[in-house]
């Protein structure tokens, strides 16, 4: 859309709109911002702890791969959104990161308002994406697919529950996050039942 306008206008428009670019450097990615939030939430912590939290999440969005997190936190430090000092556990060296005042400001800005355009979207749901093309599958494959999807949603519900048990006690917003997961999973299940009815 932005692209379909004249090039010159687009360039000006992009830079001008939505405050995507902060004064210094480009806008933070979702992963960078989320990491910032985790450091705020956990207090001073090592990249490994951040990774553990991500991997415990029911969302595969946050893979918490080392190759992403270590350089990312270094980047955030270079931008003075995090600060770090060396620490150790026994003989093992760690680096402990804490959030700075600027980091907190950046976190608040990311949360919004304003919400960036990309946040005004339906969620990304890999089951929905696949269902769109079920017409390309054989009837047998469709039935099996629905069965698998039901199982998947059951496992997801369990993951949400487990996450709630482990981390939901943090603050009231963490509890609301779980609640979102519950309501959403319920909605997806009802949807899948409708799909099964239509095809059954």
Partner DNA sequence: TAAGGCATGTAAGACGTTACATGATTAC
Partner DNA sequence: GTAATCATGTAACGTCTTACATGCCTTA
Sole binder of a second copy in the list 122, 139, 169, 200 (CB under 8 A)? 122
Please, are residues 41 and 170 in contact by the beta-carbon 8 Å criterion? yes
Dist CA 92 CA 154 (whole Å): 40
- Minimum distance, C-beta of residue 85 to DNA, in the bound complex (Å): 11
Sole binder of a second copy in the list 5, 17, 29, 61 (CB under 8 A)? 61
Q: Which of 93, 120 has the CB closer to a second copy?
A: 120
Give the footprint of DNA on this chain (CB under 7 A): 3-7, 9, 11, 14-15, 26, 29-32, 46-49, 52, 63, 65-68, 70-72, 75, 89-95
Does 194 help bind a second copy (rule: CB under 8 A)? yes
Task: Output the CA torsion sign for 159, 164, 167, 173.
Answer: positive
User: What are the phi and psi torsion angles at 193 (to 5°)?
Assistant: -65, -40
Q: Which of 66, 111 has the CB closer to DNA?
A: 66
| Element housing 185 (H / E) | helix 172-199
| Element housing 136 (H / E) | none
Q: Which of 79, 116 has the CB closer to a second copy?
A: 116
Does 148 help bind a second copy (rule: CB under 8 A)? yes
Dist CA 173 CA 44 (whole Å): 20
User: Among a second copy, DNA, none, what does residue 15 contact (CB within 5–8 Å per kind)?
Assistant: DNA
- Minimum distance, C-beta of residue 9 to a second copy, in the bound complex (Å): 17
Sole binder of a second copy in the list 112, 162, 165, 166 (CB under 8 A)? 112
DSSP 29-74: PHHHHHHHHHHHHH-SB-HHHHHHHHHHSS-TT----HHHHHHHHH
User: Among a second copy, DNA, none, what does residue 140 contact (CB within 5–8 Å per kind)?
Assistant: none
């Amino acid at each position: 859309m932005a692209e379909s306008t004249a090039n010159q206008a687009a360039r000006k428009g992009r830079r001008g709109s939505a405050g995507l670019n902060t004064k210094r450097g480009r806008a933070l990615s979702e992963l960078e911002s989320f990491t910032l939030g985790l450091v705020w939430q956990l207090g001073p912590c090592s990249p490994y702890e951040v990774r553990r939290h991500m991997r415990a999440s029911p969302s595969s969005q946050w893979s918490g791969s080392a190759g992403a997190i270590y350089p990312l936190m270094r980047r955030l430090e270079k931008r003075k959104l995090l600060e770090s000092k060396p620490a150790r556990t026994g003989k093992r060296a760690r680096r402990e990161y804490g959030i700075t005042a600027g980091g907190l400001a950046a976190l608040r800005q990311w949360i919004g308002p304003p919400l960036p355009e990309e946040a005004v979207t339906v969620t990304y749901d890999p089951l929905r994406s696949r269902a769109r093309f079920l017409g390309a599958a054989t009837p047998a494959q469709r039935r099996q697919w629905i069965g698998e999807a039901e199982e998947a949603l059951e496992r997801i519900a369990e993951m949400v529950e487990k996450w709630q048990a482990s981390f939901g006690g943090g603050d009231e917003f963490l509890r609301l996050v779980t609640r979102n997961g519950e309501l959403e999973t319920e909605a997806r299940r009802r949807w899948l039942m409708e799909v099964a009815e239509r095809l059954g």
